[in-house]
Amino acid sequence: MEEDIILKVEGISKFFDGIKALEDVSFHVKKGEILGIIGPNGSGKTTLINIITGFLKPDKGKVFFKGKEITGMKPYKIADLGIVRSFQSVKPIYHIPAYKNVIIPLCSKRIKRLKGGKYGRRDEVAIDILEEVGFERDSKIPYKNTDELTHGYLKRLELARCIALQPEILILDEILSGMSDAEVSSTVPIIEGLNRRSVTVIMIEHRIRELFQIADRIIVLSFGKKIAEGHPKQIIRNKEVKRVYLGA
């Protein structure tokens, strides 16, 4: 039903110096859904997310959030609405402790508005969020400068900063990439837990096995076009997907 749709993308196209990155891509996301977006490198996945979150403007097409057009809005305004993203390449603020990276989004206008200007002790809230994503609360790790953290912790810090903004839509751009199998196994339940708390999730991911286990629906891009959409079991059987993505 239309009222269940939280995000709608209509006919998005994007060109860079005449080279097609996206061509007439359309889809919708339902409230409370986990949507996976897959495709070979260069298929337009991150470009699409950059357009949704305001880091790029489309050459054609529109984006709607809860029925309101947000095409071309500034990224900070889109985040303030509740569409929050991680980045494929981690972007912490270096040379300050991990927990202070989480305090920064806790001081945002969005959180002040949601909490009526009151959030208690932000240091404690930041540590709580870090513990939720796998930082050991009673260790030194939350207090280490970010340039001392391993890649796995930096990825989880990226997720913690997103959680701090209390998103309605959480967009994860290869959040599992570069993680060990143990780190992936502990991160996937965190994403599922957020979804159970009514957070709609969009995941760009190359860890197909894990994505297909938790996604409600998958969209497949190839050379900037949407070539398939459906339940993970349907996508696995799709001959075109096997040809362009799985190498069959």
pLDDT at 60 (0 to 100): 97
The H or E element containing residue 240 is helix 239-241
Going by their DSSP bridges, the two strands 60-65 and 68-69 should be labelled as antiparallel
Q: What is the per-residue pLDDT across 127-161, written as a single tens digit (0 to 9) for each? A: 999 999 999 988 999 999 999 999 999 999 999 99
- CATH numbers and ranges of domains, the chain: 2-246 (3.40.50.300)
pLDDT band at 243 (very low <50, low <70, confident <90, very high): confident
Phi, psi (degrees; rounded to nearest 5) at 168: -90, -40
3-state secondary structure (DSSP) of residue 77: helix
pLDDT tens-place string over residues 103-123: 999 999 999 898 775 666 888
Structure-token pair, residue 6: 């939280």
Tell me how far apart the alpha carbons of residues 117 and 119 are, in angstroms, rounded to a whole number.
Answer: 7
Sign of the C-alpha dihedral, residues 24, 41, 48, 193? positive
Predicted local confidence at residue 85, as pLDDT: 97
247 falls in which pLDDT band (50, 70, 90)? low
Query: In the prediction, which pLDDT does 246 show?
Result: 62
pLDDT over threshold 90, residue 50: yes
User: Six-digit token pair at 128?
Assistant: 């709580």
User: How would residue 48 be classed by pLDDT, with cut points 50, 70 and 90?
Assistant: very high
What pLDDT is recorded for position 119?
63
- For CA atoms 215, 218, 221, 226, give the dihedral sign: negative
Region of 37 on the Ramachandran plot (φ > 0 left; ψ -120 to 50 alpha; else beta): beta
Give the pLDDT band (50/70/90) at residue 245: low
C-beta separation of 63 from 7 below 8 A: yes
How confident is the model at residue 199, as a pLDDT? Answer: 97
Under a CB-based contact definition with an 8 Å cutoff, are residues 203 and 36 in contact? yes
